[in-house]
Amino acid sequence: MTRAALLVLADGRFPAGGHAHSGGAEAAVKAGRITGASGAAGLEEFCQGRLHTAGLVSAGLAAAAALGADPVELDGAADARTPSAALRVAARKLGRQLMRAARATWPSGELDALAREFPKGAHQPVVLGLAARAAGLGAEDAAYCSVYECVSGPATATVRLLSLDPFEATGVLARLAPEMDVVVRRAVEAGRRCVDEGVDALPAGSAPLLEISAEVHAGWPVRLFAS
C-alpha cells in the first residue's frame, strides 16, 4: 500500500460530491444545536456524537468492504442501519458520485461490478471500502477516510453556515483525532468479524436526532446544503 494514495482518497477536494453536504450540520445550526466551536452547543460535541454513531457504522461498512465482504450484502446492511429515507437517498447519491471518481482514478473490476449492480448508487461507505481496495489501501485506511469525512464535512459546513473561525473548526478536528483512532479500531475489528460472521457483526449505532432532523431538512424550501 502507498500512503500517498490514502491522501488522495482522503483529500476533501477529491471530486466525489461531498462539498454539497453538511452531515446534518445545517439542520443542527438552524435548531440551535450548534452555535459555536465548542461548549454545550458546540461543533465539537456534535461531531463527537456523529463519530460514535453514524461514523462508527459507516467506518465499519467501509472496513468490511475493504476486506472483501460481499458489497451487495453490505449495502443491505447500510439500508437497515439508516432509518431516515432522506439519509438513504443522500448516501446513495454520494456513493454514485464517489463511484464515478474512484473508477476514473483507480480503475477496477470490482468497482465496475458494483456500479452495474447499483446504477443509481450504492451506499457511500460501501463504495469507499471498494475504492480503498482499488487504490491498494487496507481496511484501516478505508475506516480512517470514513471517520474523518464524518466530522470534516460538518466542520467545513459550519464554517460557511456560522462564519465560524476556520482555525477553530480545524482545532476541533485535531482535538477529535484520538477519538477517531478509537472509532477506527472498533470499526476495523467489526469489519473483520463481518467477513467471518456476516453483516450482523457490524455496528448498528444510530443518532435519532440526526435521522429526524435529516427528514425535516429535506423538506426545507431553501437550504444551502443537500443534506
Q: Which of 112, 165, 181, 197 binds another protein (CB under 8 A)?
A: 112
Separation of alpha carbons 20 and 24, rounded Å: 12
Q: How many residues bind another protein (CB under 8 A)?
A: 30
Is 217 near another protein (CB under 8 A)? no
Q: Which of 2, 7, 11, 15 binds another protein (CB under 8 A)?
A: 15
Cβ-based burial of 226 (10 A; exposed 0-12, middle 13-18, buried ≥19): middle
**What's 224's DSSP letter?**
S
Binding map of another protein across residues 26-55, x = CB under 8 A, - = no contact = ------------------------------
Cβ-based burial of 120 (10 A; exposed 0-12, middle 13-18, buried ≥19): exposed
In whole angstroms, how close is the CB of 192 to another protein at the nearest point?
A: 31
DSSP β-bridge partners for residue 42: 36
Is 144 near another protein (CB under 8 A)? no
Is 17 near another protein (CB under 8 A)? yes
Is 158 near another protein (CB under 8 A)? no
Torsion of CA 184, 189, 192, 197, to 10 degrees: -130
Q: Which of 30, 88, 160, 186 binds another protein (CB under 8 A)?
A: 160
∠217-148-157 over CA atoms, to 5°? Answer: 35
Cα torsion 120, 188, 10, 47: sign? positive
Separation of alpha carbons 72 and 173, rounded Å: 32
Is 224 near another protein (CB under 8 A)? yes
Q: Residues near 187 by Cβ (< 8 Å), separated by ≥ 6?
A: 56, 59, 60, 62, 63, 143, 146, 147, 203
In whole angstroms, how close is the CB of 150 to another protein at the nearest point?
A: 16
Footprint of another protein on 79-108 (CB under 8 A): 93, 96-97, 99-101, 103-104, 107
Nearer to another protein, 57 or 131 (CB): 131
Q: Which of 8, 20, 195, 209 binds another protein (CB under 8 A)?
A: 20
In whole angstroms, how close is the CB of 16 to another protein at the nearest point?
A: 6
Q: Which residues contribute to the site for another protein (CB under 8 A)?
A: 13, 15-22, 93, 96-97, 99-101, 103-104, 107, 112, 115-116, 119, 157, 160, 221-226
